A and B are shown apart, each in its own frame.
Chain A
Amino acid sequence: MSWNCTQTEERLSDFLDGRMEREESAEFSAHAAGCTECATLLRQVGGLVTEMKAIEPLPVPAPLVRKILGATLGERTPQHGWKRMFGWVPILWTPRFAMGAVTVAAVLAIVLNTTGLTPKKLKRADLSPVNIARSANRQFHLAYARSAKFVNDLRVVYEIQSALQRTPEPPASTNPDPEPKSESPSGAPDQKSQTAPRPRSQVRNSPMLAFVMMCEFTRSPR
């Protein structure tokens, strides 16, 4: 294939940008080496492309970014004095910050309660890891002992209460009913007498007693 000047001009950018097959590139170069006009064109355009790629971008005019931000986000006047110093205060009212603060406070309260530290009586020695561990251990055992004692007291109360409730069966009445029973015409027993409540025992009528006993047990010194 014989390469000509028209092809050289048409494929000039492909050659300069390295978008040619090796064979085509060799034919292009061979033609340009032998043709003065094509060699000049290649040198001029090649030089121009190199120069253009080397040109650094223009710097952005200083107020342009500010203008763009003003046109899109709105004008933002720089704050001075106390407004600048306390510009962060509105952040405190945002829900995200408030939630974070509440969470931190809750965690702190739990940790202090668990370790048994009191902020008012806090000493430097209390902050050592050994003392914190000891205090936490003590708090844990105290809490465990209290709960065990409470359960035990409750068990005793329930046992007493159930013992008192186990009342004997009411004695069977030997006296004939002074009032004559009115028999129903159909001969069925009287429903009123069947559903009548049993007389309560004396203990069951006084639930206050169980409550007072429970109080007495739980009020025992720790």
Chain B
Amino acid sequence: MEPDAQLVQHCLRGDGPAWEELVKRHTRRVYNLCYRFTGNSAEAEDLSQEVFLRIYRTLASYQEAFGGFPTWLTSVTRNLLVDHYRRTRRDRVTDSLDDAMPVLEEKHSSARAPDKLAQAAELSVQLQRGLARLSPELREAVILRDLQGLEYNEVQVILQVPEGTVKSRINRGRIELARILGEMGVRPD
């Protein structure tokens, strides 16, 4: 598989198929980040589209030294999500996602028992509701670390905050989320 940096170089030379490959490769990551942050699939779709539009326009500014294309992409997504959050804060009456359509995870592993599948899907929905009740700072830290699987230093690059702040946000976010889920009656243990 061609590395991302090479695809970016092809894109800068006007190679359409290279851009298509780059989009196909990273859409899932961007969409999931947007969905976990907003809790709304339609909003996540629009935001994903906006992210790639921004990436397409600013592709020339990408530098490999920044920390790899996925990190740069996540950073752009996160900045756009923060902008979106600030823009829509006044319109939101409540952070509750009770009205949002629950999106069930599509499990590809056929080895899982049906009851396990249903359980995991239910947990995902509850988790999304719990995340929505977290403050944006703690929410993004938990999403990047535990749902996107990024390392601490990658989260630090994306959030542009000191390492101590990253550690503190991830820790407080997890504890707070566990408490919220406990209140909701969800026991992940």
Contacts and interface: CB of A to CB of B under 8 A. Distances in A.
Interface of A: 9-14, 16-17, 19, 41, 43-61, 64-65, 67-69, 71-73
B45 A44 contact: no
A56 B28 contact: no
B178 A45 contact: yes
18 contacts: A41-B178, A44-B182, A44-B188, A44-B189, A48-B188, A49-B146, A49-B174, A53-B149, A55-B105, A55-B124, A56-B106, A57-B28, A58-B31, A60-B28, A60-B31, A61-B41, A67-B45, A73-B19
Given A53-B149, A68-B48, A72-B23, 16 more contacts: A9-B175, A46-B189, A48-B174, A48-B189, A52-B127, A54-B120, A55-B105, A55-B124, A55-B127, A57-B32, A65-B24, A67-B49, A68-B53, A71-B52, A72-B53, A72-B56
B107 interface: yes
B20 interface: yes
B120 A55 contact: yes
B135 interface: no
A50 B149 CA distance: 12
Contacts of A49: 146, 174
Interface residues of B, number: 45
Interface of B: 16, 19-20, 23-24, 27-29, 31-32, 35, 41, 45, 48-49, 52-53, 56, 103, 105-109, 120, 123-124, 127, 142, 146-147, 149, 152, 167, 170-171, 174-175, 177-178, 181-182, 187-189
Nearest to A68: B52
Contact of A12 (B127, B147, B152, B174): B174
Contacts of A43: 189
Contact of A72 (B52, B109, B142): B52
